[in-house]
Structure 1
Amino acid sequence: MSHLQQPVPPTLPQTRQALRQHVRQLRQQLSAAEQTEAATELAHHISGNDSLLAKQHFALYLANDAELNTEPLIKALWQAGKDVYLPVLHPFCPGYLLFLHYDRSSVMQINRFNIPEPQLNCARVMPVAALDIIFTPLVAFDAIGNRLGMGGGFYDRTLAQLPADSGCQVIGLAHNCQQVAAVPVAAWDIPLQQLITPAKYFDFR
């Protein structure tokens, strides 16, 4: 999907960091009521999507830094009998993620970014290519599917492992305010296939 990417401007690092800071501030300004409404709307959108609900293995994330809250969605997926997985910082391959099965009995720990993650248990690891849907967090996105993350590159490196013929759908989740006119693209960025906000469904394929 590299044809979606736009030319990299000369001031790429500065531009990306300024955009990242600006959009993070926008979502941090959302009130608790707005966050709750957005999370509820997201869960309703996805729960009512027959195509998505036909899948079984869903990777999500736990919200941090005013990201779109996934807890109502996780509960809805559990209620529908779906398997949910959360990212864990890879213990042996720095910069990569593992996805571990997550349920109400999961033992959680706080990682070095102060984000809760399931305690590592190799028996609960799901290979990335075996997931049906990976819902990814992000800082900003544009109308052609370019995604700006927090800058660590964890999702880009991990998603790059997906084979070209993988049936796994990568879907971004974001607040409405996180859409921007254009995301400055770097060579390592993995564009989104789809994205869902509380107000809209985007298909970039």
Structure 2
Amino acid sequence: MNMQDKAGLRRRLRRARQSLGKSERKRAERAANCLLKHHIRRRARIGIYWPVGSELRLGGFIQTALARGARLYLPYIEPRSLRLWFTPYQTDSRKAERRHSRGSLAIPQFGGRKIRAHRLTVLLVPLVGIDRQGYRLGHGGGYYDVTLAALKGRLKPHTVGAGFACQICARLPHEAHDIALDSFVSEAGRVDFPARPA
């Protein structure tokens, strides 16, 4: 599949996500957040994301994780690098040291002690689409692709795609180097994908 086809697929999946009505979205987010709580353990290091656009909001999950003593981390994008670092979660975007712009969207970047993904227990991954084998279609920036590829041969966090049921596809294009996620959680439930050799 060429880049133009991928761009069309991204547009179609984003439209499906954006077309959710306000009450339908609230119900779906509540259900997905409730299912995501299965991954919370005291002192666990959990990588989350700052939702942009119509991505699944993680408010209920975050509140419960903090109350249960989990440590939350947000992605940190260094200039001229695709591999993500993760810094301690901040609730207030005004405390960001800078913003990383992606098109018209600005993602807050917080300071603090940086860790790499292999130091996380669980990593929640945003996505545009995901297929039944666990391969995701991201926004096209390559940050999570590079970060997940760097986990090969290491102890790795449990990787969980977080989104809506309308983002599931039968099959998405993927390359030999792409890394499938371990599971996907939406309002429709949790799907676990078969383990593949590292």
For Structure 1 versus Structure 2, the TM-score category normalised by the shorter chain is 0.7 to 0.9
Aligned residues of 1:43 and 1:76 also touching (Cα < 8 A)? no
- Name the Cα RMSD after superposition: 1.9
Counterpart CA distance in 2 for 1:110 and 1:71 is 21
Given the alignment of the two structures, is residue 46 of structure 1 paired with residue 36 of structure 2, yes or no? yes
Counterpart CA distance in 1 for 2:147 and 2:81 is 11
Question: What is aligned with 1:117?
Answer: 108
Counterpart CA distance in 1 for 2:76 and 2:31 is 27
SS at match of 2:169: coil
Deviation at 1:174, TM superposition (A): 1.3
Given the alignment of the two structures, is residue 24 of structure 1 paired with residue 24 of structure 2, yes or no? no
Aligned counterpart for 1:102 among listed residues 78, 85, 89? 89
Aligned residues of 2:118 and 2:154 also touching (Cα < 8 A)? no
Change (3 A) 1:182 1:105: closer
Deviation at 1:135, TM superposition (A): 0.4
Given the alignment of the two structures, is residue 183 of structure 1 paired with residue 172 of structure 2, yes or no? yes
Question: What is aligned with 1:6?
Answer: none
Deviation at 1:20, TM superposition (A): 0.9
Give 2:65's aligned amino acid: L
Structure 1 unaligned blocks of 5 or more: 1-10
Counterpart CA distance in 1 for 2:99 and 2:24 is 26
SS at match of 1:138: coil
- Deviations 1:184-203, CA, capped at 9 Å, x for gaps: 11344221111111111111
Deviation at 1:163, TM superposition (A): 4.0
Structure 2 unaligned blocks of 5 or more: none
SS at match of 2:52: coil
Change (3 A) 1:112 1:103: closer
Question: What is aligned with 2:140?
Answer: 151
Aligned residues of 1:89 and 1:95 also touching (Cα < 8 A)? yes
Deviation at 1:130, TM superposition (A): 0.8
Given the alignment of the two structures, is residue 160 of structure 1 paired with residue 157 of structure 2, yes or no? no
Deviation at 1:127, TM superposition (A): 2.3
Aligned counterpart for 1:65 among listed residues 53, 76, 79? 53
Question: What is aligned with 2:185?
Answer: 196
Aligned residues of 1:88 and 1:97 also touching (Cα < 8 A)? yes
Given the alignment of the two structures, is residue 12 of structure 1 paired with residue 14 of structure 2, yes or no? no
Aligned residues of 2:32 and 2:189 also touching (Cα < 8 A)? no
Aligned residues of 1:86 and 1:117 also touching (Cα < 8 A)? no
- Deviations 1:8-61, CA, capped at 9 Å, x for gaps: xxx3323222111100111111122222222211221122x2xx2236110011
**Deviation beyond 4 Å, 4+ runs, structure 1:** none
Aligned residues of 1:137 and 1:149 also touching (Cα < 8 A)? yes
Percent identical:
28
SS at match of 2:12: helix
